[in-house]
Amino acid sequence: MRELLNLADYRAAARGRLPASVFAYISGGSGNELAMRDNAAVLARMAIVPRALIDCRHGHTRVDLLGQTFASPLLLAPVAAQGLVHAEGELATARGGGALDVPMVLSCMASQPMETVLAEHGGSCWLQVYWQGSRARTLEVVRRAEAAGFAALVLTVDTPVNGLRLRELRAGFAMPADAAAVNLPAHAARALDVPAGGSRIFQGVMRSAPTWDDVAWLRQQTRLPLVLKGLLAVQDVLRAAALGADGVVLSNHGGRALERAPAPIRMLAAARAAVGDVLPLLIDGGFTTGAQVFMALALGARAVLIGRPQVYALAVAGDAGVARMLRILRDELELTMALAGCATLADITADSLLSLASAGMDA
Amino acid sequence: MRELLNLADYRAAARGRLPASVFAYISGGSGNELAMRDNAAVLARMAIVPRALIDCRHGHTRVDLLGQTFASPLLLAPVAAQGLVHAEGELATARGGGALDVPMVLSCMASQPMETVLAEHGGSCWLQVYWQGSRARTLEVVRRAEAAGFAALVLTVDTPVNGLRLRELRAGFAMPADAAAVNLPAHAARALDVPAGGSRIFQGVMRSAPTWDDVAWLRQQTRLPLVLKGLLAVQDVLRAAALGADGVVLSNHGGRALERAPAPIRMLAAARAAVGDVLPLLIDGGFTTGAQVFMALALGARAVLIGRPQVYALAVAGDAGVARMLRILRDELELTMALAGCATLADITADSLLSLASAGMDA
Amino acid sequence: MRELLNLADYRAAARGRLPASVFAYISGGSGNELAMRDNAAVLARMAIVPRALIDCRHGHTRVDLLGQTFASPLLLAPVAAQGLVHAEGELATARGGGALDVPMVLSCMASQPMETVLAEHGGSCWLQVYWQGSRARTLEVVRRAEAAGFAALVLTVDTPVNGLRLRELRAGFAMPADAAAVNLPAHAARALDVPAGGSRIFQGVMRSAPTWDDVAWLRQQTRLPLVLKGLLAVQDVLRAAALGADGVVLSNHGGRALERAPAPIRMLAAARAAVGDVLPLLIDGGFTTGAQVFMALALGARAVLIGRPQVYALAVAGDAGVARMLRILRDELELTMALAGCATLADITADSLLSLASAGMDA
Amino acid sequence: MRELLNLADYRAAARGRLPASVFAYISGGSGNELAMRDNAAVLARMAIVPRALIDCRHGHTRVDLLGQTFASPLLLAPVAAQGLVHAEGELATARGGGALDVPMVLSCMASQPMETVLAEHGGSCWLQVYWQGSRARTLEVVRRAEAAGFAALVLTVDTPVNGLRLRELRAGFAMPADAAAVNLPAHAARALDVPAGGSRIFQGVMRSAPTWDDVAWLRQQTRLPLVLKGLLAVQDVLRAAALGADGVVLSNHGGRALERAPAPIRMLAAARAAVGDVLPLLIDGGFTTGAQVFMALALGARAVLIGRPQVYALAVAGDAGVARMLRILRDELELTMALAGCATLADITADSLLSLASAGMDA
């Protein structure tokens, strides 16, 4: 096997190793995959201006996040059903993240018990939660996370309805029973009984979707830090801040929710300007290099969540693969920082960026 | 046969099933097909910003159009000679539309009698009319439509001269006799006798083209709502409004008329701003997904006409195909609305759109 | 042979029929062909907004040019050595142009005597002149053109040095003896003796290049209208006007001179604005459809010169080919005018144009 | 072998002749090669507006640089280890440069003794220096260069850490012993011992990287002109000027350092505006034609360094190849100047440039 030098290599290796339908499930986006492609396209259109001769010998990549300090501005994004690609699933991923001091945001759709995952990680993990159709059922999951010792809750709000993921449909993907979500109460299957003449979406699925009122209620129910994941509109970010959220993840769900959602990084600078410096903004969506992580930080992100590459690395080499993937990203980030003259994350600002579409000779 | 999951699938399936020359006739545009390509290109360059946590459980897609209410902001665009692709032609299309409460704008070049088509549809249909070379002959068609019970007239004004459709010419397409226009008086063939030294176009075909005076005259002849189809310039839309038109379809005739006409959606916001909220603006031209329909509504369209996909669906599966194709579009629209936080069409505004060419990091 | 429906068809047919080296000579540009590609690229990026319901029955394409009226705003551009592709060379081209009332701008590098070409055309022709290294030798050619009855002189000023045309070099093209320039005095070969240490270009070729002083002198020597061909900079167009030129051809020599010259149509509107309405601006460079001709007229050109397509048509079908090619262009122009609501050339303005790069949704 | 007509031909010929791993080493960039591609992409997006009828018979391409006059605004960029591609390595390159009066900026990583290279060149050479980990070790190299008679020092500051050059890694490239750097003291290998818990980059490599203080110190140590190579940010260029540098080379190291560094030519006009006319700005990065050199001069560069093409020409034809490659570039520059109406370098200004992205019809 050729040496795995960057995250694209992990993707290629995973593709060669996973059943086509599983790879389609992981790698695909919704509809015509416009959101997914925008994630990559936007990241390609920015340059980083190097700065020379700056003393970086005391440099590091440490970051403060929800009151804790981590080795790097990276998190493992919540990805469901990791039993699909590796026998140990989330347990192995957790060990890989723990080894690099990278917090894992465990999906509530995990195929391993949340308590065990947390133990395997050994450090700080957050629990991602989908609304469970009612306040009571949602609270059940929250209480279990509190009891287990998760350090924060991440409520995903961008998929009250699932996008239509054609790639996996055409590949005939079906979730196998042994990758099922073991942490959710059995009654949580979404209600789909639709009144006559009603819409399957509006009067069906959306009946069990959460609203801002539900989030305000949830905010009152727990003392854990609460992060909202899947906002993009600046107004939504402002509302999250006003409601007392401890963080926001700008995300288009890796291009798997709204087919034409813009890349989150398009919205980052405006969101940062709107909410000021206090609320941590995190981001995900197509990040595969340390230089891209640098760009997100420069535009105002506190940290970056890594989704699909986590699964590719897990598929290729288990816990060691996840750790190595995270190490590559961090090395690339350090290299970028050193060449851009940034010794710490605080030194990374938008002054380092240059839009290739509008700058220089095109001005 | 692979499952038909979106409108692109219907196109592919129709391509595999129709004679190459017939597919060329349907799918082609005029000249070098720049207008047709612009339709697709522009639609690709816009994002929709999702909004989270909005209560959509009372959502619907109903629309008011010329005094009637329909289930969705979709219409079947006028497409000539559907006998070409299906034995029942427009009869089957009408049943498909009727099943989904989608009005059919029947082409005056239909291969089935207009009265029968209307009966098969069972709901509201509009009749599309080409100018028949003289006021008297045009009035004959109008009177028949009134008698039959059509709910509106749609006068197409963008093709006084036909574009040169190279694709069908090169494929050797010829309209078969049994797809002939059965609803037009035999005398309506266009005059082509050109005075010596005259131009075949200016002194030939254009002699039987309508003018604004003819439209003003027609407006006085009928109490049916009158819609002008094929305007793009804002001045023309304003003139249609001043003249008493009940609606306008922004259209470049699917890229089959002026080779370099812009995509109608480029003109939509300016036209909406110019005429205000009263005059309904409809649109067609390359729409193949519900998200694209959403974008047109966001820019000011009241509804979207679906042309070529109608014929592809008819070719693939007759009335059931047409109904299924319309259902897919409406489902995609509902999904887009739910994820964009729009419970009704009135909630869809330009605030939801983001031009990928100019926004975010490129600004 | 497949039917020739547009100018691209003539190109393809000529390519199939000519020796590869001859086709390379005709079709190639200089250097990396950036100027040639820009000609095509810019023309692709503009839309024409249709106007409906305008009375065009008295329409025509007639144009006044240097005191004469022609059937259409088209001219045959000067192209050297047409004996290369057809036994009769320029004689056949002239007959084709004459049949459509299209003036021929005969190249001074023609392979047929200028007097015979003029007779075969039967109408108005202009003679293109290269500076012949000295005033006296240049005047010889001018006097012969006056005596022969040419209606105007076109002095080409964009190639004091030839561009490096790699395509023909790689194809091993060499000009055969029987395509030689029969209208030039034998002594006109350019001086290439370079002083020691001097540059082959600056102290060699450029020693026999004309200057503005030479043009001012030439302006005094003849009463024929004088047109300068090959200007692009607005300042140069203004200087030509001040000096008494009767017209200017904006041109990058079909992309065969300066490798990176912009497409002339990029400079047209600014040049028109600078010199006002009096001085006729003509243009060439990549025009292959009537809609493109329409765009040039809309931006301020009085007429368009057709270069390479002339040679392709000549190669494919001699005089009839040239006439047919010109007829196609004129028909396409008339079709465009009718659909854009322009009955005469005077009705064609920039209001009809829409830049696809900056308009509509991208604004 | 097909005739070598331009620098792209030399690249193709070298590719056919060198081992794949060596070609990968020379031709590759760092990471995903975004910086390297930007170099080419930006150069493609500018046009040069020709000027006609200007007297150029006294034209030349001479340039003053650090107090000396050279035949053309070209320099041979520092390229390490030329023994890789030719038995004589830098000796042959030097002869080729000397023959065209083109200064060689000899890499301190050369595989031939600097004194011999200088002698083979016969004219003016500059020595490129990497910081040698300490002031004392760096000074050793500087003193040897002074003693040898180099005319200037060029300190490269853009690669305190090497970029990850995937292409050569994947091709299995390893530097052979006989291409080793013969001019550097053996002790100069970079320190890589990293304290426990430290970063290989920040606490490892960056410990031996130079800072602005080191450059200020170096400025005091030598009377040779000092040029800083590898700046891009305007602030860095200003600081270099303030510190007494005699010149700056805007460079992204041919795309081999920071993966996403912008093309230097994007920064040129701003840097020139910031520092005024006194400090000479040189540039490199993807220049392969004389017209591109013209563009850099128009935007404010005094001269252009030629890197990879130098090695390709050396590989293909030794000293004669290098000389021929430089001659082609100069001929192309002269041709461009003549057609753009610029008799000397002083006549080349930004007035000649037109951005293809923003000008003309797109405005």
Question: Tokens for A60?
Answer: 């590091």
C34 lies within 8 A of chain D by CB: yes
Question: Which positions of chain C have pLDDT values less than 70?
Answer: 1, 187-192, 358-363
Among candidates D50, D56, D295 on the partner chain, residue whose Cβ is nearest the Cβ of C261:
D50
pLDDT in tens, D240-296: 999 999 999 999 999 999 999 999 999 999 999 999 998 999 999 999 999 999 999
Cβ neighbours of A53 in D, within 8 Å: 157, 209-212, 214-215, 236
Token pair 């816990």 is found at: A319
Task: Mark yes or no for CB contact C3/B265 under 8 Å.
Answer: no
User: Which pLDDT does position B144 carry in this prediction?
Assistant: 98
Q: Which 160-179 residues of chain D touch chain A by CB within 8 A?
A: 160-161, 163-164, 166, 169-170
Mean pLDDT of chain B: 95
Q: Which of residues 43-102 of A touch D (CB under 8 A)?
A: 44, 46-61
Interface probe for C, chosen from D42, D55, D57, D337 (most Cβ of C below 10 Å), is D57
Average pLDDT over residues A202-220: 97
Instruction: Please calculate the CA angle D211-D216-D221 and round it to the nearest 5 degrees.
Output: 120
How many angstroms separate the CA atoms of D227 and D218, rounded? 11
| Nearest residue to B190 (alpha-carbon basis) of B172, B210, B218, B168 | B210
Determine which helix (DSSP H) or strand (DSSP E) holds C303, and give its type and residue range.
strand C303-306
Beta strand spans in chain B (E): 46-48, 63-65, 68-70, 74-76, 104-106, 125-129, 152-156, 226-231, 247-250, 281-283, 303-306, 353-355
Residues of chain B with Cβ-Cβ distance to A193 below 8 Å are none
Q: Where residue B177 falls among pLDDT bands split at 50, 70, 90?
A: confident
Q: Decide the pairing of beta strands B152-156 and B226-231.
A: parallel
pLDDT for D178? 81
Say if CB A305 and CB A105 are below 8 A apart. Answer: yes
To the query of whether residue D58 is one of the catalytic residues in this protein, the response is no
Q: How far apart are CA B128 and CA B80, in angstroms?
A: 10
In sequence order, the 6+-apart residues with CB closer than 8 A to the CB of C147 are: none
* Angstrom distance (rounded) from CA B167 to CA B32: 9
From chain D, pick out residues whose CB is under 8 angstroms from the CB of A362.
45, 355, 357-358
Element (H, E) at C129: strand C125-129
- Give per-residue pLDDT as tens, A112-126: 999 999 999 999 999
Q: What does the block give as tokens for C306?
A: 């057709």
Does B31 sit within 8 Å of C57, measured CB to CB?
no
Chain segment A290-303, per-residue pLDDT in tens:
999 999 999 999 99
CA D203 from centre of chain: 29
Average pLDDT value for chain A: 95
Q: List CB contacts of B277: < 8 A, sequence separation 6 or more.
A: none
Tokens of D205: 């490599």
Residue A83 CA neighbour count, 13 Å, CB half: 15
- Output the pLDDT for position D330: 98
Whether residue D164 and residue A5 make contact (CB cut-off 8 A), yes or no, is yes
Q: Residue C108 gets which letter from DSSP?
A: T
In the structure encoding, which two tokens stand for residue C289, read together?
């459809």
pLDDT at D162 over 60: yes
Do C236 and D51 lie within an 8 Å CB cutoff? Answer: yes
Is the CB of residue D297 less than 8 Å from the CB of residue D350? Answer: no
When pLDDT is cut at 50, 70 and 90, the band that residue A197 belongs to is confident
Mean pLDDT, chain D, rounded, equals 95
Contact indicator for A160, B338 with CB cutoff of 8 Å: yes
The closest CB to that of C258, out of D50, D343, D356, belongs to: D50
Q: Where are the alpha helices (DSSP H) in chain D?
A: 7-17, 20-27, 34-43, 90-99, 114-121, 135-148, 166-170, 212-221, 234-242, 264-275, 290-298, 308-339
Contact indicator for D264, D42 with CB cutoff of 8 Å: no
Question: pLDDT (tens digit, 9 = 90+) per residue, C40-73?
Answer: 999 998 999 999 999 999 999 999 999 999 999 9
Position B52 scores a pLDDT of 98
CB-based contacts of D114-121 (< 8 A; 24+ apart in sequence): D114/D144, D114/D145, D114/D148, D114/D150, D114/D183, D115/D148, D116/D91, D117/D90, D117/D91, D118/D94, D118/D148, D118/D149, D118/D150, D120/D91, D120/D92, D120/D94, D120/D95, D121/D94, D121/D95, D121/D97
Which domains are delineated in chain D? Answer: 7-173+211-355 (3.20.20.70)
How far away is chain A from the Cα of B359, in angstroms, using its nearest Cα? 7
Given a cut of 70, is residue A188 above it in pLDDT?
no
With a CB cutoff of 8 Å and minimum separation 6, the contacts of B264 are B39, B232, B250, B251, B252, B283, B284, B285
pLDDT tens string D71-90: 999 999 999 999 999 999 99
Nearest chain B residue to C359 by CA distance is B266
pLDDT of residue B362: 40
Can you tell me whether residue B290 is helix, strand or coil? helix
Please check whether residue A333 is in contact with residue A60, taking contact to mean a CB–CB distance below 8 angstroms: no
Tokens coding C95: 């007959």
- Flag whether pLDDT at B265 surpasses 70: yes
d(CA B52, CA A248): 12
3-state secondary structure D275-314: HCCCCCEEECCCCCCHHHHHHHHHCCCCEEEECHHHHHHH
Task: Check residue A361 and give its pLDDT.
Answer: 45
D289 vs C: CB within 8 A: yes
Whether chain A has a CB inside 8 Å of the CB on D266: the answer is: yes
In a mutational test of the B interface, the residue from A260, A299, A352 whose CB has the highest number of chain B CBs within 10 Å is A260
Q: Is there a contact between C338 and B160 if contact means CB atoms under 8 Å apart?
A: yes
CA distance to partner chain D, nearest, from residue A112 (Å)? 32
Distance from CA of A171 to the nearest CA of D (A): 30
What 8-state DSSP symbol labels residue B52? Answer: -
Q: Pick from C8, C52, C356: which is nearest to B157 by CB?
A: C52
Q: Give the model's pLDDT for residue D228.
A: 98
Model confidence pLDDT, tens digit, residues A293-349: 999 999 999 999 999 999 999 999 999 999 999 999 999 999 999 999 999 999 999
Angle between helices A264-275 and A290-298 (to 10 degrees): 30
- Tens digits of per-residue pLDDT, A44-91? 989 999 999 999 999 999 999 999 999 999 999 999 999 999 999 999
**Nearest CB partner across the interface for D334, out of C42, C199, C266:** C199
**Which subunits sit against C, judged by 3+ Cβ pairs under 8 A?**
B, D
Subunit partners of chain D (3 or more CB pairs within 8 A): A, C
8 A C-beta contact, residue B274 and residue B237: yes
Between A11-25, B96-110, C173-187, D327-341, the lowest mean confidence (pLDDT) is in C173-187
Q: Which residues, 6+ apart, have CB-to-CB distance to B323 below 8 Å?
A: B95, B96, B97, B99, B100
Collect all residues of chain D within an 8 Å Cβ-Cβ radius of residue A338. Answer: 160-161, 201-202, 205-206, 209
Q: Kindly tell me the sign of the dihedral angle through the C-alpha atoms of D7, D9, D15, D18.
A: negative
For the whole model, what pTM was predicted?
0.96
CB nearest to C258's CB, from D5, D54, D340: D340
User: Given D34, D164, D211, which is nearest A54 (Cβ)?
Assistant: D211
